[in-house]
Structure 1
Amino acid sequence: MNAFEKLSAVHRGGVLVLAILTAATIVIWLLKKVKPQSNLEELVNRIKSWWVMAAVFFGAISLSKNISLLFFGLLSFWALKEYVTILKTRRADHWALLLAFLAVPVQFYWIHIGWYGMFLIFIPVYMFLFLPILLMLAQEPSGYLESSAKIQWGLIAFVYGLSHLGYLLKLPELSGRVVSGQALLLFLVIITEMNDVFQYLWGKTIGTHKILPKISPKKTWEGFVGGVLTTTVFSLLVKFLTPFNTRQVMLVAFILAVAGFCGDVVMSAIKRDVGIKDFSAVIPGHGGMLDRVDSLCYTAPIFFHMVAYFYFQGIIPLF
């Protein structure tokens, strides 16, 4: 057993991410030397931001589970805030919006205490039923349905969807299975983000046939297919983070790659609808927080329930 194999799965994942970012940094540096006239500012900013995001992410998941849950709770809150900021809201929506933001700590509290059943139904059932009542009490029927739909959708995507990242850390603890929650989380994030990178690179290199020109003009069939296939093969490099065999890990990666693409273009449709390019400019080279976690809004719940069903089926207490 070599030194790399002696490391924990999470530490090996960290080494792999470090190697990828280092290689990308060197490639950008070489390109600047070979083609000094090229405009590589966006790529340079992207790589710099990736270093910062990777450091913050690994710091968060390396600390206690409570700190990790707090991190993902803040991530959900931030994502919901960016989403609400771009919406046209009514004065009558303010109490419902306040309740939506208050749902964030409540949802993560269910994760903290391990109440799996309430985690599953709190937002899609209780919040779904109660929010329209609160909006109705404002007695402003004009725009009622639109406001209700917008707020509900934001809660499902950015709070319920992203909260599955936090519950991945809880699964092994609740089941007694020998598998690292941090490793499962790391696998999900690496596959989702590398899929974005692969689709971007394939699209830039050979992309000619646009897949959704009115929604995301830069997305191509070549980028989509190349990204999905490359991500599926790449999953073999990070198989050690999961309890899956080779066939299973490739199937999971394939599904996540397709789901990640769907999350990306759905968020693009929202941006086209409200007439913006990015959700914000808080992350240089990437845009807003939502521009970075858009794919995770889809891949996180899908991966969580695949893992919960196929690996933890029958051993997760609902109450």
Structure 2
Amino acid sequence: MNALSVALALVGLFICLAWLLAGLLLPESSPSRAEILPRIRTWGGIFLFLLPVLLAPSPWPYVQLGLVSFLAFKEFITLTPARRQDRWAFLWAYIAIPLQYLWAGMSWYGMFIIFIPVYLFLFLPSRMVLAGHPKGFLRATATLHWGLMTTVYSLSHMAFLLSLPDGTGPHGMVTGASMLFLLLFLTEINDVAQFLWGRTLGRHAVLPLVSPRKTWEGLLGGVGTTAAAAALLGPLFSPLTPLRALGTGLLIGVCGFLGDVVMSAVKRDVGVKDSGTLLPGHGGILDRLDSLTFTAPLFFHLIFYLYY
């Protein structure tokens, strides 16, 4: 078995043990049981969803990741106010999602990197202005483009990781799937570690008006935990040397936090606690992907710049 298969087996085993122990140890009437068990079940569902992404042959992983962007973009659009006359622009925005993942699957880096930031940036407001309604135009165009950039463009970098050629790392062959696993694992470890450190030691809020539960203790503990995990796992699943992996872990820790609080600011601006109800115990899909909107493109470009 290769390192990726072993890692996936261990993650699956850990989720099963966590669910079993929580069910056995937490009293039936405990509020913690009602909160923790749905979270663990959802983690199990996310894990099963990701298995084909990491193990199945092309084009299936690109289809699944494209579906994730579709659901995230749809959820984002439901949170933000929209003008009725912009419905055709939204249709074109949805059509752009499979095209963006097609460029990733084709390894067409030139088109992939400019399709949304350049061509869609020019085309969508042009289509919207033809409706002839200037009222709310700036807010509508900014919201649409920002939604595409975060939920489609940023997240699609996960798909392009799968298209990178296999290479040699400090401990043997690495693949796009192993690098995607590393990105996902470190991002989620960062989220979980910041939550746990904040719950146990947190006293000083970082941004009390944006996310009151985010504390300096949680941030520093999470970043340190993520950096340590990256230094250990980075050379196994990527071309990163231990020192570069440590730096990558620090980057993911800090930027994962920024992605989280940026999406928290969006939700507070529109007056909601969670972005949806798709994931029991977690909220909406954006509540689970917020950190990845920042870490995915940064991790990809770091790897691409250093090794490709």
Normalised by the length of structure 1, the TM-score is: 0.91
Matched residue type, 1:305: H
Percentage of matched positions with identical amino acids: 43
Is the 1:13–1:241 contact (alpha carbons within 8 Å) kept by the matching residues of 2? no
2 CA distance for matches of 1:37 and 1:142?
A: 51
Superposed CA offset, 1:28-68 (max 9, x none): 245415x9645321111111110111011012321112000
- Which residues in structure 2 correspond to 1:269-284 (within 5 Å)? 269-284=265-280
Superposed CA offset, 1:55-96 (max 9, x none): 110123211120000001111111000000111111121111
Is the 1:169–1:181 contact (alpha carbons within 8 Å) kept by the matching residues of 2? yes
Q: Counterpart in 2 of 1:20?
A: 14
Is the 2:18–2:40 contact (alpha carbons within 8 Å) kept by the matching residues of 1? yes
1:92 and 2:85 aligned: yes
Matched residue type, 2:227: T
2 CA distance for matches of 1:235 and 1:216?
A: 26
Which structure carries more relative contact order (alpha carbon 8 Å, separation 6+)?
Answer: 1
Equivalent position SS for 1:195: helix
- Which residues in structure 2 correspond to 1:217-256 (within 5 Å)? 217-239=212-234, 240-256=236-252
2 CA distance for matches of 1:228 and 1:117?
A: 33
What is the total number of aligned residue pairs between the two structures?
A: 304
Superposed CA offset, 1:163-184 (max 9, x none): 00100000116x8995211000
Q: Counterpart in 2 of 1:288?
A: 284
2 CA distance for matches of 1:12 and 1:243?
A: 18
- Which residues in structure 2 correspond to 1:193-208 (within 5 Å)? 193-208=188-203
1:215 and 2:202 aligned: no
1:181 and 2:176 aligned: yes
Matched residue type, 2:139: E
Normalised by the length of structure 2, the TM-score is: 0.94
Q: Which runs of 5+ in 1 are unaligned?
A: 1-6, 313-319
Is the 1:107–1:119 contact (alpha carbons within 8 Å) kept by the matching residues of 2? yes
Q: 1:37 to 1:153 in 2, by over 3 A?
A: closer
1:139 and 2:132 aligned: yes
1:302 and 2:298 aligned: yes
Equivalent position SS for 1:225: helix
Match of 1:75 among 68, 73, 79: 68
1 CA distance for matches of 2:63 and 2:198?
A: 36
Alignment RMSD? 1.7
Structure number with higher strand proportion? 2
Matched residue type, 2:185: I
1:10 and 2:4 aligned: yes
Q: 1:194 to 1:40 in 2, by over 3 A?
A: same
1 CA distance for matches of 2:32 and 2:12?
A: 25
Q: 1:104 to 1:12 in 2, by over 3 A?
A: same
Matched residue type, 2:73: L
Q: Counterpart in 2 of 1:4?
A: none
Matched residue type, 1:115: W
1:311 and 2:307 aligned: yes
Q: Counterpart in 1 of 2:163?
A: 170
Equivalent position SS for 1:217: strand
Q: Counterpart in 2 of 1:55?
A: 48
Superposed CA offset, 1:115-150 (max 9, x none): 110000000011111111111101000000000000
1 CA distance for matches of 2:246 and 2:21?
A: 28
